[in-house]
Structure 1
Amino acid sequence: MATSFDTTLANLGVNRYGSTSSTTDTSNLGKTDMDQSDFLTLMTAQLQNQDPFDPVDNTQMVAQMAQFSSLSGITEMNSTLKAMAEKLSSSSLGDALGYVGKTVLTAGSIAYPRAAGGIAGAVSLADDATDVNVTIQDGDGKTLKTIALGAQAEGAVAFDWDGTTDSGDAAGDGPFTVKVTARNADGNVTATPLVWAPVSTVSMGADGKPALTLPGIGQISLDAVWQVG
């Protein structure tokens, strides 16, 4: 016949070899982790079912109590860390809301013109370059303007386009596509266009972090912002 200790084990979803019980609680079947309550239940059952002529060794009892204390401390620490993470997430979202209505410089190839016409932006270079060019295209892919920036050092280099084509005509209202190329003696240099875009909304991304929504670009994380205008 199963002892009350066997029954306790069974109720936690653990059956000792050779034990049987008609009162087994199946609600914990499939459970793989033990929480603080389970630990205390097992320790109490062990004390209740110990052999009075061969009680649990004091050293073992102290070790088990130490494990219980450690488990309790870890549980409380996890709860505290979770609360801190939620607080930081809330603060980050509040900080991100401050971007709404502002313009940010970020990686992207679609740019909308300023009220006065033209666009400003930058080129991010992965290495020093001897020849850097910015090409502005319309929605059909037609080249409107080519801006030669010449030799530039690694990093970000700004450019400004006044909104006129190579022939001197007004380019229109856009949006425009920005493409960049760069070369040095070793060949092509990795170059990324950076454009200014207004922040329309802020939302929580799939990763639980705030994301900025930019027209023509989509959602970006806060760490993708190079500069705020």
Structure 2
Amino acid sequence: MASTFDSTLTSLGINASSTAAANAAKTSSTSSSLGASDFLKLMTAQLNNQDPFSPTDNTQMVAQLAQISSTSGIAEMGTTLKAIQDKLGATSASDALAYVGRTVLTEGSSAYGRSAGGLAGAVELDKDATDVTVSIRDANGQTLNTLSLGTQKAGTASYDWNGKTASGDDAGTGPFTVSVDAANGGEAVTSRNLVWAPVAAVSVPASGSPVLTVPGIGQVAVSAVRQVG
């Protein structure tokens, strides 16, 4: 590292054996890259140690000043892009408040029936499955109906239950407990049940992302929402 820096000083016309240049080399050798302040130190050391009978060429000075400007500009651009990235990736309070009164599709096992009866949801599969089933139970844990979705590709598979029990009776409005089972040729496939639920409130902490309050599910991060209805 030190030898590389010494060669850089030499190419700039700096006498590395002088005290000022040696101090500059010692300081800069601890860094893996040169910033704008490093360039200024090098130029100052160069001017302090240049041969008065053979001063640094004006063209070289202009080129070095251009390097300082370019380095500073790149650093400022990086800071600006980081701020833009953080802004785009974050959810503002006003964005989160817009969820209130809407329904969201998110992971959960509890679901309420629609006013017209039945409910809709989805199964999220990590891999392809040859057999996917959705079981719907009442508050007492009794199975009301089982939906067979058959073969499904990895991803999200939607389902819609008409609100009837296996015997054809009206199952009511719930709440219902929904569970899913998925397998591929007898081998279990990791899956998650997604339910539609209304957003009752939004919490906006002093730090961190807003959190949605969803009846029957609890606290849901905005990032956990798969779809908004």
TM-score, structure 1 normalization: 0.63
The amino acid across from 2:145 in the alignment is T
The 5-angstrom pairing of residues 42-53 of structure 1 reads 42-53=42-53
Deviations 1:31-72 (A, max 9, x none): 887653453244234313322134335565354323212212
The 5-angstrom pairing of residues 80-159 of structure 1 reads 80-89=80-89, 94-114=94-114, 119-125=119-125, 126-127=127-128, 129=130, 131-137=131-137, 142-149=141-148, 151-154=150-153, 155-159=156-160
Q: CA deviation at 1:112?
A: 4.0
The 5-angstrom pairing of residues 8-87 of structure 1 reads 9=24, 14=27, 35-56=35-56, 60-87=60-87
Deviations 1:160-196 (A, max 9, x none): 252768795867853x432112345464444431111
The amino acid across from 2:76 in the alignment is E
Three-state SS of the structure 2 residue aligned to 1:192 is strand
Q: Distance in 2 between matches of 1:104 and 1:48?
A: 67
Across the two proteins, how many residue pairs are aligned to each other?
208
**Structure 2: unaligned runs, 5 residues or longer:** 1-16
Specify the alignment match of 2:202 in structure 1.
201
Specify the alignment match of 1:5 in structure 2.
20
Q: Distance in 2 between matches of 1:15 and 1:146?
A: 72
**Structure 1: unaligned runs, 5 residues or longer:** 17-29
What percentage of aligned pairs have identical amino acids? 47
Q: Distance in 1 between matches of 2:67 and 2:185?
A: 65
Three-state SS of the structure 2 residue aligned to 1:162 is coil
The amino acid across from 1:14 in the alignment is T
Specify the alignment match of 2:161 in structure 1.
160
Q: Distance in 2 between matches of 1:54 and 1:8?
A: 23
Specify the alignment match of 1:227 in structure 2.
227
Three-state SS of the structure 2 residue aligned to 1:159 is strand
Q: CA deviation at 1:110?
A: 2.9
RMSD over aligned CA atoms reads 4.4
Deviations 1:61-103 (A, max 9, x none): 3543232122122123124324433543567654343222211
Assess if the C-alpha contact under 8 Å between 1:144 and 1:171 holds in 2: no
Deviations 1:101-135 (A, max 9, x none): 21111232233455677543222344353x43222
The amino acid across from 1:69 in the alignment is S
Assess if the C-alpha contact under 8 Å between 2:120 and 2:158 holds in 1: no
Three-state SS of the structure 1 residue aligned to 2:27 is coil
Specify the alignment match of 2:3 in structure 1.
none
